[in-house]
């Protein structure tokens, strides 16, 4: 076996609880598959081994690698599955105990929305107050935290949360009435079965003699309790993970589970995998310095096996220069350094940052794939604002008109729109030309006519302003006058969701500002033409495109589990990374932001570049930034006075190379 001493120890510890702390790039999957193979070689029947992970891809990979190691040694196989697949099998056997039929249905998103809509009608809550999608978001968040309907009302803080807690109970009852569960229920119902029915817990625990759990740092409360219930009899539990890569707290993962493993299993052996085979010594040194600032962690220090060039920090004037510089460098790396497009990744903290890079990559005709999110120009808020701008530029653009005629809601309902469309068809005119005649359209009442007239007049006023004003001022005024921020607040109950959606709107404003700055004669039509060239997303399968040959553009969360020869981590500023929510909220977790930065750094195999914009546009206006505290921590300059300024959010320090 080609294993280092720590890997060998983990593979050959075959009984009792075992915690394998697998640092980034230390061969985690290799250890898991070798350990499964060794268990079978030692005489454990394959069907008595259960390995659980978070994705089908990871489960399939473990199965495939283990089979190769064993060859034709055995016909039976270990059971390898995701948490949710495991729960489905348990529920098929026992869910009758909870009052569901054995052939229960699993509702998809469309089914869930139908139930949510029906429930909201029952309690007489209109979509203007709480949308079905927002109700499902809140219910899913509660379920991820193992909060049942009877508990939700007690922890609800806002009016919307109280309404949602009322709907939550009815939603669950509606599902149960038709013998259905949703995706989150798979975990919750399994947890309930194992907790409430000792015979069920015993039967399921006795099915296996060994349990392995991958990515243990990502388990939520339900998953944690399911693992404890299944392993409590034999105590042959091996969990593999890295607390330094716990970055999913926002979706219910609790790093405390891996940190307290020895408390839960006092006799557990701990093996640390610290030899990093992925990255250069220089990258690993930066990563070690950074993560050492987190105090609540298992102590470990990564060691690299080879050297390379030192990581770099680039300071650019603004986000436009940042994008241009990174894209130009990528062109040079491919042209002169024998790199392929797929060797390079651009990693961002927020969903808004890729916009500038998408623009420059398209302008340079560089193939890229956006991983872990939709294209900036596909987002609802962006499409709404662009529809307004298209209508100002071309009032006869019927698609844009229909999209925003009642967004935000202004009293022009579907019935009114239908009548206006029928009138336009009968007259053979564009719908825009029918709006001034709304008072003559059959079936429209006074309030509807007035609403149509107010909308038409507002668009008309802005259309006239095109002659004398620059695009930026028009766009800012339009967003303000239609009260789009209020619409976001009304539609989305979660502050974080509101913030993210408003950030997309701001980014449209920033895009207009950037266009206006580089064009000698900027017009709204010119901006829209530029968007058409940069925002016309290709509909290729993105995964396959990445495999063929394309630059990877993604968020740091999406980069988890991946690696690239060259990595650009962009936007290394206070408020971006760490995100301003983690700085402003005393209860927020800066440690998780640091872990997120650590994940980004450790994606780089050979070359790492970190960039920051010294100025970044906010609402179209350039504002000075503060270099991220993580830059000082990474480079060993945390004793620099500028570091303390960054941490405390004081005056802008001078950035250092």
> Nearest-CA neighbor of 269 among 92, 64, 16?
16
28 included as an active-site residue:
yes
CA distance 499 to 236: 45
| Residue tagged active-site, from 603, 606, 616, 617 | 603
**What is the phi/psi pair of residue 353, to 5°?**
-60, -35
Catalytic residue among 38, 215, 318, 593: 215
Is the Cβ–Cβ distance between 546 and 369 less than 8 Å? yes
Task: Give the whole-angstrom CA distance, residue 238 versus residue 226.
Answer: 14
- 360 catalytic? Reply is no
Burial of 197 (0-12, 13-18, 19+ CB in 10 A): middle
Nearest-5° Cα angle at 504, 499 to 506: 90
Residue 566 phi/psi, 5-degree rounding, is -130, 135
The gap between the terminal CA atoms of the chain, to the nearest Å, is: 44
Rounded CA gap, 55 and 83, in Å? 8
Strands (DSSP E) contained in 530-645 are 551-555, 564-569, 604-613, 615-618, 621-624
Q: How far apart (Å, rounded) are the C-alpha atoms in residues 257 and 269?
A: 16
Select which of 33, 172, 245, 325 is catalytic: 245
From 37, 45, 35, 41, select the one nearest 14 (Cα to Cα): 35
Token pair 């740092």 is found at: 217
Look up 215 and say whether it is catalytic: yes
Output DSSP code: residue 52: E
SS3 state at 273:
strand
User: For residues 152 and 170, what is the distance between their CA atoms, to the nearest angstrom?
Assistant: 12
Q: Which of these is catalytic: 13, 29, 331, 523?
A: 29
Task: Please tell me whether residue 182 adopts helix, strand or coil conformation.
Answer: coil
Ramachandran assignment for 252, one of left (phi > 0), alpha (psi -120 to 50 degrees), beta (any other)? left
Catalytic residue among 7, 28, 343, 360, which? 28
29 is catalytic: yes
Q: Which of 38, 161, 191, 214 is catalytic?
A: 214
Q: Please tell me the total number of residues recorded for the chain in this structure.
A: 657
User: Which helix (H) or strand (E) element contains residue 59?
Assistant: helix 56-70
* Cβ neighbour number for residue 542 with a 10 Å cutoff: 18
The reply to whether 427 belongs to the active site is no
- Name, in order, each residue with C-beta under 8 angstroms of 164's C-beta and a sequence gap of 6 or more: 130, 134, 135, 138, 139, 152, 156, 493
**621-624 and 615-618 strand pairing:** antiparallel
Q: Which two tokens stand for residue 537?
A: 């997303």
List all residues 6 or more positions away from 177 whose beta carbon is below 8 Å from its beta carbon.
none
User: β-strand 564-569 against 344-348: which pairing, if any?
Assistant: parallel
Type and span of the H or E element at 593: helix 590-601
Signed CA dihedral, 21, 24, 27, 29: sign only? positive
Is residue 151 among the annotated active site residues? no
**DSSP for residue 529:** H
CB 36, CB 49: distance < 8 Å: yes
Catalytic residues: 28-29, 214-215, 245, 603
């Amino acid at each position: 076996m080609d294993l280092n001493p720590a890997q060998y120890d983990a593979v050959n510890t075959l009984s009792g609880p075992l915690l394998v702390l697998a640092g980034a790039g230390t061969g985690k999957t290799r250890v898991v598959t070798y350990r499964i193979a060794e268990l079978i070689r030692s005489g454990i029947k394959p069907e008595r081994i259960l390995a659980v992970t978070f994705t089908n891809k990871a489960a399939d990979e473990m199965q495939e690698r283990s089979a190769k190691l064993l060859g034709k040694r055995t016909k039976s196989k270990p059971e390898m599955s995701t948490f949710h697949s495991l729960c489905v099998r348990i529920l098929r056997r026992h869910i009758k105990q909870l009052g569901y039929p054995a052939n229960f249905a699993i509702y998809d998103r469309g089914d869930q929305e139908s139930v949510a809509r029906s429930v909201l009608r029952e309690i007489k809550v209109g979509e203007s107050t709480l949308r079905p999608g927002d109700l499902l978001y809140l219910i899913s968040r509660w379920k991820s935290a193992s909060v049942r309907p009877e508990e939700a009302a007690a922890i609800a803080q806002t009016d919307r949360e109280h309404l949602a807690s009322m709907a939550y109970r009815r939603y669950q009852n509606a599902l149960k009435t038709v013998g259905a569960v949703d995706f989150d229920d798979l975990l919750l119902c399994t947890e309930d079965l194992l907790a409430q029915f000792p015979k069920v817990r015993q039967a399921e625990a006795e099915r296996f003699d060994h349990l392995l759990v991958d990515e243990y740092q990502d388990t939520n409360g339900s998953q944690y309790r399911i693992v404890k219930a299944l392993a409590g009899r034999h105590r042959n539990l091996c969990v593999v993970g890295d607390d330094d890569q716990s970055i999913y707290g926002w979706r219910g993962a609790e790093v405390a589970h891996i940190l307290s493993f020895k408390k839960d299993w006092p006799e557990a052996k701990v093996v640390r995998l610290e030899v990093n085979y992925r990255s250069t010594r220089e990258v690993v040194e930066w990563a070690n310095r950074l993560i050492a600032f987190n105090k609540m962690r298992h102590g470990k220090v990564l060691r690299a096996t080879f050297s390379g060039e030192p990581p770099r920090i680039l300071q650019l004037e603004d986000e436009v220069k940042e994008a241009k510089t990174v894209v130009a460098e990528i062109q040079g790396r491919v042209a002169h350094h024998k790199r392929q497009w797929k060797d390079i990744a651009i990693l961002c903290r927020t969903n808004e940052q890729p916009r500038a890079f998408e623009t420059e990559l398209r302008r340079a005709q560089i193939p890229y794939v956006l991983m872990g999110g939709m294209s900036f120009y596909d987002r609802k808020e962006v499409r709404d604002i662009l529809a307004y701008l298209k209508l100002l530029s071309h009032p006869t653009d019927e698609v844009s008109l229909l999209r925003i005629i009642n967004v935000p809601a202004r009293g022009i309902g579907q019935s009114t729109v239908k009548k206006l469309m029928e009138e336009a068809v009968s007259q053979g005119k564009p719908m825009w030309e029918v709006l001034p005649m709304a008072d003559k359209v059959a079936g429209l009442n006074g309030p509807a006519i007035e609403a149509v007239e107010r909308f038409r007049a507002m668009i008309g006023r802005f259309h006239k302003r095109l002659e004398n004003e620059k695009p930026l001022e028009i766009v800012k005024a339009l967003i303000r006058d239609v009260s789009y921020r209020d619409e976001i607040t009304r539609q989305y109950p979660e502050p974080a969701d509101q913030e993210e959606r408003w950030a997309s709107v701001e980014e449209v404003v920033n895009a207009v500002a950037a266009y206006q700055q580089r064009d000698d004669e900027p017009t709204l039509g010119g901006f829209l033409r530029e968007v058409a060239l940069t925002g016309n997303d290709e509909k290729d399968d993105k995964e396959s495109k990445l495999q063929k040959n394309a630059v990877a553009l993604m968020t740091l969360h999406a980069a988890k589990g991946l690696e690239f020869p060259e990595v650009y981590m962009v936007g290394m500023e206070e408020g971006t990374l760490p995100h301003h929510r983690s700085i402003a909220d005393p209860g927020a977790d800066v440690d998780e932001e640091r872990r997120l930065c650590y994940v980004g750094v450790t994606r780089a195999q050979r070359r790492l570049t970190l960039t920051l914009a010294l100025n970044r546009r906010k609402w179209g206006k350039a504002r000075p930034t503060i270099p991220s505290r993580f830059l000082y921590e990474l480079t060993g300059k945390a004793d620099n006075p500028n570091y303390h300024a960054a941490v405390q959010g004081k005056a802008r320090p001078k950035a250092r190379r």
